[in-house]
Chain A
Amino acid sequence: MDIQMLKSNDAITWCPGCGNFGILNALKKALVKLGKAPKDILLVSGIGQAAKLPHYIKCNCFNGLHGRALPPATAAKMVNRMLTVIVTTGDGDCYGEGGNHLINAIRRNVDMTVIVHDNQIYGLTKGQASPTTDSGYETKVQLGGVIVEPLHPLEMAIALGAGFVARGYSADSDHLSWLIEEGIAHKGFSLIDVLQPCVSFNKRNTYEWYSQRIYKVNTDPNYNFTDKQAAYQKADEWGDKIPIGIIYKIEKKTYEEKSGLDMIGPLVDEPIEAIDISKALREYV
């Protein structure tokens, strides 16, 4: 497949220099490598700048409600397991409004890949703190600086038993593209938190700020991403050094395997016009 085949008709409305462009390119590259027809790929999003991404790729798109990308994505995969399901969401959408769904999507372990555009700020509503905004950061609402603890999505995901937990950086498109490929290839729920500068509203976590801190964890031959304790420590690193890469990865049974969905054809292919329910009705006679 050619990258041109993924070109959508829709005009992009992100700010020039937005980290989202890097994520869009990385995703397109990963999808080209995947080699699946666009009609067999479903991108699901909620609301926010990240949620617009599915409009900019020629794949199926379900752009739902704020915070609610995961439930429809989960269900779509359950009823048609032939679809490759990818969620593009933001830190507000996924960790704030939709936090409960993230917790339970991880527990279900349906085979899908969740890419969180984590710019540590609310962009679309113009600059309020998000769940991952660093403590002390001042905004128009958090006037004296953020006083609550930031959410630690990677540690949370590892604690909940996610099978694939990674962190990417939007400016390193090749590395991110590789992470997305690995996430899609992983059987089960994959979470990829992507550090993404917001050029309009986050004056702290800038391209420069990140480039001074980021390092690739998987180039270290001593790092074992199947070691839960080591992964937990790695996920906790934030400040002078920030790791990117596959932080934690283990094989575990998926929802499809445990529910028996993988033993039958996709539910969407079941004919329904002439279902005979006599067997069920007999229980009421």
Chain B
Amino acid sequence: MGNNELTVRVAGEAGQGMQTVGTVLCDIFRKEGFDLFSNQDYMSRIRGGNNYFQIRVSSHPLQSHREKTDILVALDRESVSLHRKDLCKEGVLVADGKKFNLEVHDGAFFDVPLYQIALDKGGSEIYVNSVSCGLIAGLIKLDFAAVERQLRLTFSNKKEDVINKNILAAKTGYEYATSNFRDVSFKLTPGHSKREMMMNGNDAIALGAIKAGCKFYSAYPMTPSTSILNVVSHFAKDFNILVEQAEDEIAAINMAIGASFAGVRAMTGTSGGGFALMVEGLSLAAMTETPVVIVDAQRPAPATGFPTRTEQSDLNFLIHAGHGEFARAIYAPGTIEQAFYLTIKAFNLAEKYQIPVLIMTDQHLADSTRNIELIRQDAVKVRRSIISKEESANVTNYLRYRLTKSGISPRAIPSWIEDVIYVDSDEHTEEGHITEEGTIRNRMVEKRLYKKMQGLSREIEKPSFDVREAKTVLIGFGSTYGVMKEVCEETKGKVGFVHLSQVWPFPSVEMKKLLMKKRRMLTLENNAGAQLAQLLRRETGIEVNDSILKYDGRPFSLDEVLIRLSQRTKRKQR
């Protein structure tokens, strides 16, 4: 347990409802003014297996998770043996000893008849969730009123009787903790957090898309991108958005391109394997100069890999995907806030340059929840880059691919202008008809690659950094922002960081400036190939000293990075 912070982990089989306990607890903590960071670890199955929900709570803002937990609630026997090793020195293990015939004789084991209470107060073992919730609140000495309020809210669509049973189960758990474990002191200083909003990375992307005016979302469900599909669907009626579950990812991207051609902002989302199927479509978007936003929520690969876990191994793939040469932009948000704002930018940019824009996230950012300051929905202006309906009335003799200095041809919407529009995946003339003429080919390649890249290079997202006091600098992209930031804070700035939220076009100029001073440089990457280190070298000539890599499908915790950094320092001293 760190400085006025606490980590709680609830583990059990899939289907036992860890997510319910987790979300209820998150809501209680947040409303009591605490800051929190929660992450989930789940297996690719609907029932059984072993899953957990972990919440780190503090009175200061959090960006990452810890390796060890202070309170571990094990809802099944397997969880006891699997998670014991992760207990902090003064941590406690809560489990139902009688139900699971546990013979544990040490001070850290809190034997609580969780299931008996559930049966007595609720009439079913499913109430073990609410018992656990109350018990945890009791151990931390939260006010029970906060638990009751949240349970009422969470179960507000249930019958009064069910709500009351949940509250009773929770109250019994709460009282069991306060009367039996009075000596335990997990009391946290109440926080005064103004960060009142709580969501995960995928929520932020979905909300960003809605704000950006996305009117068409097509996708084939694939973990860990699926919750974007769920969230957009949830709000579809309120914002007049058409959500279509496509027959496959090939259809998903071709639909998004068709919708975009017809004039609306469109997006599709998937994970690496699905994106592999979309690659020809990516090339089509580039060739036809049709804007499209694509989300790749990465997971460990090759092939099916670890469906429910995390990795950052698609970096090279996304930069190079697609046959032929064309401009694209790739964002790699590091925080929930960035996920929201960059999604809006992605739509603006895709439309301005008439290109595919990719948002690269991963399971860790997708599923991790944090409390954040209220999203300022107008912080990024939604700017359209089409010939408006009013302007369309005067358009005749339209050339879809008119050659211009900027490489961008004014884009008209079919049926708005009086003329017709030809769009082609073959090489084409300015009008959009098939051609095999060499000179036109040259002009079109230059338009799609050089000219658009020139423009895109002028509006690259600047990396975020803190390198003032740093002797060592960590360099990362995407979801590792949080852990790098906390490492920097924990080391009082001795370990600095540079985080890229856009990886293509690569921010070469900025990176050269930031990394000019001679310092120890390490990339921190959730992959095995040190892809960012290679990219940095290729684009800037800068060689890092080393890379901290992780490819076991799990995200970096604050502790792991600190340990691996110190191991490297020791090695160097030897």
Is B528 in the interface zone, CB < 8 Å from A?
Answer: no
Question: How many Å lie between the Cα of A284 and that of B23 in the bound state?
Answer: 12
Which of A38, A79, A104, A285 makes the CB contact (< 8 A) with B247? A104
Question: How many Å lie between the Cα of A65 and that of B424 in the bound state?
Answer: 9
Is B425 in the interface zone, CB < 8 Å from A?
Answer: yes
Closest to B235 in A: A280
Residues of B within 8 A of A9 (CB): 431, 433
CB distance from A46 to the nearest CB of B (A): 9
Are A272 and B280 in contact, with the CB atoms below 8 A? no
Please judge, given known A-B contacts A268-B264, A275-B239, A285-B196, whether A44 and B258 are in contact too, CB under 8 Å. yes
CB distance from A285 to the nearest CB of B (A): 6
CB distance from B415 to the nearest CB of A (A): 5
Are B414 and A39 in contact, with the CB atoms below 8 A? yes
Is B265 in the interface zone, CB < 8 Å from A?
Answer: yes
Residues of B within 8 A of A280 (CB): 207, 210, 235, 238-239
Question: How many Å lie between the Cα of A60 and that of B265 in the bound state?
Answer: 19
Tally inter-chain residue pairs, CB-CB below 8 A. Answer: 186
**B-to-A contact residues, CB < 8 Å:** 196-199, 203, 207, 210-213, 215-216, 218, 235, 238-240, 242, 244, 246-248, 250-252, 254-259, 261-266, 280-281, 284, 288, 374-375, 377, 382-384, 389, 413-415, 417-426, 431-434
Residues of A within 8 A of B377 (CB): 276-278, 281
A-B contact pairs, 22 of them (CB 8 A): A42-B414, A52-B434, A59-B420, A60-B414, A60-B415, A60-B422, A61-B424, A62-B258, A65-B284, A71-B250, A72-B258, A75-B258, A75-B259, A79-B264, A261-B242, A267-B242, A268-B413, A273-B382, A273-B383, A273-B384, A277-B210, A277-B377
Closest to B283 in A: A65
Are A63 and B419 in contact, with the CB atoms below 8 A? no
Are B421 and A64 in contact, with the CB atoms below 8 A? no
Contact flags A262-277 to B (C-beta < 8 A → 1, else 0): 0010011110111111
Question: How many Å lie between the Cα of A62 and that of B213 in the bound state?
Answer: 23
Please judge, given known A-B contacts A80-B414, A268-B264, A269-B389, whether A281 and B207 are in contact too, CB under 8 Å. yes
Is A180 in the interface zone, CB < 8 Å from B?
Answer: no
Question: How many Å lie between the Cα of A268 and that of B263 in the bound state?
Answer: 6
CB distance from A43 to the nearest CB of B (A): 9
CB distance from A92 to the nearest CB of B (A): 16
Is A101 in the interface zone, CB < 8 Å from B?
Answer: yes
Question: How many Å lie between the Cα of A259 and that of B413 in the bound state?
Answer: 24
Please judge, given known A-B contacts A9-B431, A270-B240, whether A75 and B210 are in contact too, CB under 8 Å. no
Is A68 in the interface zone, CB < 8 Å from B?
Answer: yes
A-B CB proximity, top 7 nearest: A72-B258, A272-B213, A71-B254, A75-B258, A76-B262, A268-B263, A75-B255
Are B255 and A72 in contact, with the CB atoms below 8 A? yes
Are A284 and B423 in contact, with the CB atoms below 8 A? no
Are B425 and A47 in contact, with the CB atoms below 8 A? yes
Which of B240, B254, B432 makes the CB contact (< 8 A) with A72? B254
Residues of B within 8 A of A268 (CB): 215, 262-264, 413
**A-to-B contact residues, CB < 8 Å:** 9-10, 38-40, 42, 44, 47, 52, 54-55, 58-65, 68, 70-76, 78-80, 82-83, 100-101, 103-104, 259, 261, 264, 267-270, 272-281, 284-285
Question: How many Å lie between the Cα of A44 and that of B197 in the bound state?
Answer: 45
Please judge, given known A-B contacts A79-B242, A284-B199, A285-B374, whether A62 and B247 are in contact too, CB under 8 Å. no
Residues of A within 8 A of B420 (CB): 38-39, 58-61
Which of B259, B382, B415, B424 makes the CB contact (< 8 A) with A274? B382
Are A62 and B259 in contact, with the CB atoms below 8 A? no
Question: How many Å lie between the Cα of A82 and that of B414 in the bound state?
Answer: 11
Closest to B418 in A: A39
Question: How many Å lie between the Cα of A71 and that of B431 in the bound state?
Answer: 24
Are B415 and A40 in contact, with the CB atoms below 8 A? yes
Are B281 and A80 in contact, with the CB atoms below 8 A? no
Residues of B within 8 A of A103 (CB): 247
CB distance from B399 to the nearest CB of A (A): 11
Closest to A102 in B: B247
Question: How many Å lie between the Cα of A60 and that of B240 in the bound state?
Answer: 25
Question: How many Å lie between the Cα of A58 and that of B254 in the bound state?
Answer: 23
Please judge, given known A-B contacts A75-B258, A268-B262, A270-B215, whether A80 and B197 are in contact too, CB under 8 Å. no
Are B374 and A72 in contact, with the CB atoms below 8 A? no
Question: How many Å lie between the Cα of A268 and that of B197 in the bound state?
Answer: 32
Residues of A within 8 A of B264 (CB): 79, 267-268, 270
Are A277 and B207 in contact, with the CB atoms below 8 A? yes
Closest to B421 in A: A60
Closest to B238 in A: A279
Residues of B within 8 A of A71 (CB): 246, 250-252, 254-255, 258
Residues of B within 8 A of A68 (CB): 250-251, 254, 281, 284
Interface centre among B211, B212, B254 (most CB of A within 10 A): B254
Residues of B within 8 A of A83 (CB): 262, 414-415
CB distance from A7 to the nearest CB of B (A): 12
Residues of A within 8 A of B413 (CB): 268
Closest to A104 in B: B247
